[in-house]
Amino acid sequence: MEFPAPLPADAVSRAFREELPPLRRAAVLSWLAFATTFGTVRAITYSIRDGRGPFRDVTPGGMHLHHYLWGIALLSVIGGVAVRGEDRTRRHPLVALGYGTGMALVVDEFALLLDLRDVYWQRQGRVSVDVGVGVIALGGTALAAGPAVRRLLRPRPGRSAGSATPVRGTVPGGRTDRGRPRD
């Protein structure tokens, strides 16, 4: 079995920019950032718990700083850009990536925020994983199915947006194509 040669990064970037409209591109970038960050944070926290790897808890003055704090800070910055930034700034890919990253950092510790207790490694902490995986699954499904759903919902010629499909052999106004009223 022969695999195709990988595309150069600039070709992928150009295709990404040319094939996706700006709002869809932002949604894809946010989803990718969320999924990547969520998986990475999960891997890092497991390595910290097992005492492997270079990462350690951040505990200035003996107080543990949970990573949802970094997510809230990042979302605050992104919100400020969204509210006060110029249109060119708001549409920058880093805004979408920052949003997805910040959301993943918060959602990963959702159970802690829900219980207001550090339940990250307890059974109740499973809620965070479930919510995170659910967001990734729903986001991916929406991104994949979105174009098809929009195409299905788009009004077709000869049909208004809210009307049912015309009966075969009829024209608007309820008459058959022979000019007689439809029964």
Secondary structure of 153-169 as H, E, C letters: HCCCCCCCCCCCCCCCC
- Any domain includes 27: yes
pTM of the model as a whole: 0.70
pLDDT of residue 183: 46
* pLDDT tens, residue order, the chain (183 aa): 676 777 677 776 777 778 888 888 999 999 999 999 999 999 998 898 888 989 888 888 888 889 999 999 999 999 999 999 899 899 999 999 999 999 999 998 888 887 767 777 788 788 888 888 999 999 999 888 888 888 888 887 765 555 555 555 555 555 554 555 544
Angle between helices 22-50 and 93-107 (to 10 degrees): 40
- Residue 86 inside a domain? The answer is yes
Residue 98 lies in a domain: yes
Encoded amino acid at 119, one letter: V
The pLDDT of residue 152: 85
pLDDT in the model for residue 30: 94
Does residue 111 belong to any structural domain of this protein?
yes
Position 121, amino acid:
W
pLDDT value at position 162?
55
Q: Which range marks the domain in which residue 94 is found? A: 9-145
Does residue 131 lie in a domain region? yes
Indicate the DSSP class of residue 182. Answer: P
Looking at the domain assignment, is residue 102 inside a domain? yes
Give me the helices (H) in 86-157, please.
87-90, 93-107, 110-115, 126-153
**Does any domain span residue 165?**
no
**What are the C-alpha distances in Å from 125 to residues 51, 68, 69, 109?**
20, 14, 17, 8
In a domain, 121, yes or no: yes
Number of domains in the chain: 1
